[in-house]
A = this chain, B = another copy of it.
Amino acid sequence: MITLASDFPSPYPAAMRGVICSRSDARIEDIAHDFPRQNVRAAAFWLREVLPYFPPATHCVVVDPGVGTDRAAVVVEAGDHYVVAPDNGVAIPVARELADEEFSVWDIEYEDDETASNTFHGRDVFAPAAAAVHDAGGADAVDRCVQTDGWVDLTLPEPEVVASAARGEVLVVDGFGNAITNVPGSVVEGRETVRVGGESVPVRDAYAARDPGDRLVTVGSHGNVEFAVNQGRGDDAFDLGVGDDVLLEW
């Protein structure tokens, strides 16, 4: 199985799909093609949350602000999974999750490929590499792949938790408008309320435990604190966007 994830508008993912289908019989499943555009950290978060639910697969990931520059292209081998991606860190947090830190990285040598465009490496570099890694059963069996230690690292920001407060950051806002932070859900467990911006906000187990339109703090499906509104948008109600600092007090 090959999965596809990108920040590419339609129909660009279809060109990648065609390239893969032309080279491999692999089943293809989409992860998402609407990751926050060129936001490597947000994509890294989503990949870490979603890819571990898949069986062993080759994951083709293209969130690539540096396309056409001399940034490398890599294959990250993590357990039984392979993540084919630009070398900008996007694949590293999920690799740590999948492989318990024991992952390896391979450079994809594509620079001598005269047929590769400068603007669409998803189609011309990453999709062919994903098909090759999938069909070969590993990066080591692909000629163009060379093991390396020189890859770009990325760690998602850590929250600061003290006796009466937690300070963190909004990692992503999902399509429901939930502002998902890096603050672990454990800090709100057992609390009726927390203070956010000087105001008391109920902590609830489910969106529907509040009336439609009412704000809450909850522990999302990622295990992290989320700012939410039942049947509404938490990002608007709490005035929060990707990368904003958050402070919870109790």
User: Chain B's nearest CB lies how many Å from the CB of A237?
Assistant: 16
User: Chain B's nearest CB lies how many Å from the CB of A53?
Assistant: 3
Q: Within the oligomer, what is the number of copies of this chain? A: 3
Which residues on A are within 8 Å of B, measured CB to CB?
A: 1, 3, 5, 8-12, 14-15, 17-19, 21-22, 28-35, 37-38, 46, 49-55, 65-69, 117-120, 123-124, 174-176, 205-209, 218-221, 226, 231
Q: In the complex, A205→B22 CA distance in Å?
A: 27
**Contact assessment for B21 and A54 in the assembled complex, using a CB-CB cutoff below 8 Å:** yes
**Contact assessment for B11 and A50 in the assembled complex, using a CB-CB cutoff below 8 Å:** yes
Q: A29-B28, A117-B221, A221-B120 are in contact. Are A68 and B15 (CB under 8 A)?
A: no
Q: Of B30, B50, B119, which one neighbours A206 at CB under 8 angstroms? A: B119
Task: List 6 A–B pairs whose Cβ atoms lie within 8 Å, in order of A's numbering.
Answer: A9-B174, A11-B46, A18-B55, A22-B53, A66-B208, A67-B208
Cβ-closest 8 pairs across A and B: A9-B175, A68-B206, A18-B53, A120-B221, A11-B32, A18-B54, A10-B32, A117-B221
